Amino acid sequence: MKNLRQLLLTTFAIIALAAAAEQPDPVISSIRDAYQLAKESSKKNKGMGNEMVTSLNYTVRGKGKTTETLHFFYNTVEGTYAMTEDRDPHFFYYPLYFVTRSYNIGKQKYYEEYLFNPSSQRLLFALTQDYDENGKRFDRRFYFHNGSVYSVDGPGITSFMKEHVYYQAEELRLAFDWLIRNPKE
């Protein structure tokens, strides 16, 4: 009888742990929902405004010519400009919410996505594609919460990679801000 009770308790504990493991993480779920909304919105709004595409051509030493395409999706909002306090409160600012970046280095093609919170401009999500030592392409998904990396899906991640993704996203956000305000330069 005692063994049966232990067996039942162990079974219930295993079932409870399995059920808890199946519960989705609320932070990642909310980021995935925002990402899905951004993807749908960017497809729906393509060619309708609130987007900017720029291409860059340059040479990577030892690899040859590279073409990089940046696709910025943003909202137009009337209100106080978020980056500085000395702006007119009726100045239009453009909160960035989604960026895609595609480029090649030699014959290898790369693709990245960056999702920002449109109100805080904080990075929420990044997708990067890279190649393993056998030349096979794979994805890494970075989830951010409160300004830092919350979770990463993908192989072999280092602290340098986390910092690089965050840095790259911030550089793209600042480049967008400069480009949207200086379109003729």
Q: Does a structural domain hold residue 20? A: no
Note whether 170 and 123 are within 8 A (CB).
Answer: yes
136 CB burial (10 A radius; 0-12, 13-18, 19+): exposed
pTM above 0.95, yes or no: no
Q: Does a structural domain hold residue 14? A: no
Name the pLDDT band for 118 (thresholds 50, 70, 90). confident
Q: Does a structural domain hold residue 77? A: yes
Q: Does a structural domain hold residue 109? A: yes
Q: Does a structural domain hold residue 170? A: yes
Q: Does a structural domain hold residue 7? A: no
Amino acid letter at 21? A
Q: Does a structural domain hold residue 78? A: yes
Total structural domains within the chain: 1
pLDDT tens figures, 7-47: 545 655 555 555 555 678 888 999 999 999 888 888 876 76
The DSSP 8-state label assigned to residue 171 in this structure reads H
Q: Does a structural domain hold residue 11? A: no
| pLDDT of 80 above 60 | no
Best CA proximity match to 100, nearest among 78, 119, 126, 122: 126
Pairwise CA distance, residues 115 & 149, whole Å: 13
Amino acid letter at 44? K
Name the pLDDT band for 52 (thresholds 50, 70, 90). confident
| pLDDT of 131 above 90 | no
State whether residue 104 is helix, strand or coil.
strand
More confident residue, 12 or 169: 169
pLDDT tens figures, 84-109: 555 555 456 678 899 999 998 888 89
Q: What is the mean pLDDT of residues 65-74?
A: 91
Pairwise CA distance, residues 4 & 50, whole Å: 65
Q: Residue 33 is part of which domain span? A: 26-181
**pLDDT in the model for residue 7:** 53
